[in-house]
Amino acid sequence: MDSYVVSARKYRPSTFKMVVGQDNIVRTLKNAILNNHLAQAFLFTGPRGIGKTTCARIMAKTINCTNINSEGEACNECVSCQSFNSSASFNIHELDAASNNSVEDIRNLVEQVRVPPQEGKYKIYIIDEVHMLSQAAFNAFLKTLEEPPAYAKFILATTERHKIIPTILSRCQIYNFKRISVEDIAGHLAYVASSEGITAESDALHIIAQKADGALRDALSLFDQMVTFSGNEITYHSVIENLNILDYDNYFQFVDCFMRSDYRSALVLLNEITSNGFDGQHIIIGMSNHIRNLLVAKDPATISLLEMGNQLSKRYADQAAETDEMFLATALDMLTQSEFDYRQSNVKSLMLENLILQLSLILQKRTEELELKKKIAESESNSGSINEPDASGYQRSKPKELTDEKVEAPQLRSISISERKNELKSIEKAETQNEAFDSKKLTEAWTQYCDGIKNTKINLHSILINSSIAKLNDTTMQVIVDGPMKKTEVEAERAELLFEMRKLLRNDGLMLETVQINKNESKLETGIQSDKLKMAYEKYPGLSYFVETLNLNLEI
């Protein structure tokens, strides 16, 4: 019975031409060999599994080849090449610094360097994982690296360049290997599958390539695992099942729900996914990548950045054409913030459900705001307006035709994505006012709004007066709170808060950004409550000591 050889070894490149995804480095090395411009020492650095040691072995074989062809490739027929291929070369030595990192190991290597090659032109020393050498070993190696004999060449390989001492780095010609692209890995996997007589779907190979994260060796290991699981036919569904990858189809369904404002179906889908054992952090990251991919797929010029199969790329392009760009930008911002919030949350399942709910209502809230703005603008232009005092005592402008009629809140309804897009476009045509405002005017309006809700929304009032506000730019105000529950409370009142602040500032383009900080991260020095306390402390110097001693929570 023949012994089994894993694909990573069976299909390990033996010539420069076979190296995958490192074209620039291969071209440079071949030119150096052809032009006889070989440095004394080379350092190959980069992530694991991308071909550093493989290139080192190919280079070592090539520079000792006696019949190098015009393309800079070894002949594989001369005595030197054959002895290397059979692992019997006396001129090429490999040292694994992970297990041979002592001073004695380096001293033995230095002793070998003193002996010139008996046949061939060079003695080549490949030191893998060189960063594992001890400080003393580095120092013992340094003298030889500074003044090596002309026949000695050193090729060092490492995944952690920063651990190598500067005096070693300065004596090496450094080559930075990059992560291999998804397309290059998928193409190589297709070649391996064809060579092995295995049928593999393009999307399945792209999933394996993405899972490998730029490491070809890892991709080949996953490929072998899939062959063991599926036999001679590898499908997209068998890959996501065996490698425990969340199906792209789930994210497409989520976005369809969001565009219809169908939070019920979105929550049901979330429950199905979490019931299958997928972690919430994994779901959030996957959703962020999906939204990013939709933004990329909106423009044919950037769709190539998707790095996936043609069938899946087309599906992204189709959904991108049906999604609202403002929704995608808002959703990506929420998801990015949620990645951090999720790690800090004590009730992760509730936070995840709340995130899905908020994503489902982005377009619903936006539609409500635009509809209300349109009704007010139409009413004021057609019938004038009257002012009516509210519970806080300040004047709220109210359309005349709405004075005697209660405006019903728009009901959540299931409509098609195209209908939703047309609705948003038609509403956005309403007339707007955009008066400029500065930080002082923003603070005055904020104070007036907070005073107006003091008796009607006590909890929100308490949160807002202890929060900070800031003007980020001409169209955006920022509210900073010190806890996730406070942020949720502010977001729940977002529509009305924005409506009132836009009226007070006479700026219909005003946007609101809510930022959460940790309680021990920073004190909110610019809140209304804080400003009043400062004034009280200045007027009564002993009050500060009294409050701190009794651990009081004053509300002015």
Q: Is the pLDDT of residue 333 over 60?
A: yes
Q: What is the mean pLDDT of residues 29-53?
A: 90
Name the token pair of 537: 């402390």
Q: What is the mean pLDDT of residues 232-252?
A: 85
* CA dist list (Å): 548 to 293, 482, 542, 543: 52, 20, 10, 9
Q: Is the pLDDT of residue 548 over 90?
A: no
More confident position, 534 or 125: 125
Q: Is the pLDDT of residue 195 over 80?
A: yes
Per-residue pLDDT reduced to its tens digit, 258-299? 988 888 999 999 998 888 888 888 899 989 999 999 998 888
Nearest CA-CA partner of 156 in 20, 10, 42, 58: 42
More confident position, 175 or 408: 175
- Residue 196: exposure state from Cβ atoms within 10 A (0-12, 13-18, ≥19): middle
What is the CA angle 270-271-274, rounded to 5? 85
Per-residue confidence (pLDDT) for residue 396, from 0 to 100: 45
Q: What is the pTM of this model?
A: 0.60
Per-residue confidence (pLDDT) for residue 388, from 0 to 100: 47
Q: Is the pLDDT of residue 211 over 80?
A: yes
Q: pLDDT tier at 177 (50, 70, 90 boundaries)? A: very high
Q: What is the CA radius of gyration of the chain?
A: 33
The domains located in the chain, with CATH, are 7-176 (3.40.50.300), 182-242 (1.10.8.60), 248-360 (1.20.272.10), 373-427 (no CATH), 439-544 (3.30.300.180)
For residues 375 and 427, the answer to whether their CB atoms sit within 8 Å is no
User: DSSP labels for 163-218?
Assistant: GS-HHHHTTSEEEEPPPPPHHHHHHHHHHHHHHTT-EE-HHHHHHHHHHHTT-HHH
CB-CB neighbours of 552 under 10 Å: 10
Q: Is the pLDDT of residue 362 over 60?
A: yes
Q: Is the pLDDT of residue 100 over 70?
A: yes
Burial 491-527 (b: 16+ CB within 10 A, else e): bebebebbbbbbbbbebbebebebebeeeeeeebeeb
Per-residue confidence (pLDDT) for residue 325, from 0 to 100: 85
Q: Which residue has the tokens 């010029």?
A: 301
Per-residue confidence (pLDDT) for residue 371, from 0 to 100: 75
Lowest mean pLDDT among 179-188, 258-267, 302-311: 302-311
Cα separation of 331 and 377, whole Å? Answer: 28
The H-assigned helical ranges of 196-324 are 202-212, 216-230, 236-242, 248-259, 263-275, 280-297, 310-322
Lowest mean pLDDT among 70-84, 150-164, 199-213, 378-392: 378-392
